[in-house]
Amino acid sequence: MRRGNLVLSYQLTSLSRKSDPIYICLSVTLADCPCIMFRAAVRLSVSGARSLTRPQLGLTAPLAQRCYAHGGKLESDEEFDARWVTYFNKADIDAWELRKGMNTLIGYDLVPEPKILEAALRACRRLNDLASAIRILEAVKDKSGPHKKIYPYLIQELRPTLDELGISTPEELGMD
């Protein structure tokens, strides 16, 4: 075993100023210690020296705040229905707007009223898009979920419109 002093020098950057380095000198005396103990002593002293340069964090203000409501006026059910009926009754609606509107409407946590569905089915007829009309009926059936009375009620309310437009229900087409 050899005896002597070994000086280790580490350069750490300060957390307060990135440009100013901090030099820490560690002095270790090599006595009768094996290499494993020496490595352990150096590792612990380096981690201890690094912790000295960290500033202590105090209480800080929150960086972000979530606002779940924008504070606007709440829309009544009648206004909601009127907005969607107006959307689907646009004379210049195209197929993309029809699909986007239905996708948005189905994304809400509700089953659309029959008057909204009637306007959407009439938009499908104006666009000559039978596939979208049947998809709307399928989506409404799926949206009704386990409530067995909602879908038959909607079909009952939409039956005159379906007959007028010549649209068959998914059940009539055998798409159960």
Q: Note the pLDDT tens digit of each residue in 2-34.
A: 455 554 544 544 455 555 555 555 555 555 555
**Is the pLDDT score of 60 beyond 60?**
yes
- Residue bearing the bigger pLDDT, 141 or 41: 141
Report the SS3 class of residue 68.
Answer: coil
- Asked if the model's pLDDT at residue 1 lies above 50, the reply is no
pLDDT at 176: 73
For residue 72, name the pLDDT band (cuts at 50, 70, 90). confident
pTM score, two decimals? 0.60
- Give the pLDDT confidence score for residue 68 in this predicted structure: 65
| Confidence label for 50 from pLDDT (cuts 50, 70 and 90) | low
- Alpha helix locations (H) across 11-113? 35-53, 77-88, 95-107
Average pLDDT score over residue span 64-69: 64
pLDDT value, residue 150: 95
The amino acid that residue 53 corresponds to is T
Report the alpha-carbon distance of residue 39 to residue 31 in Å, rounded.
Answer: 14
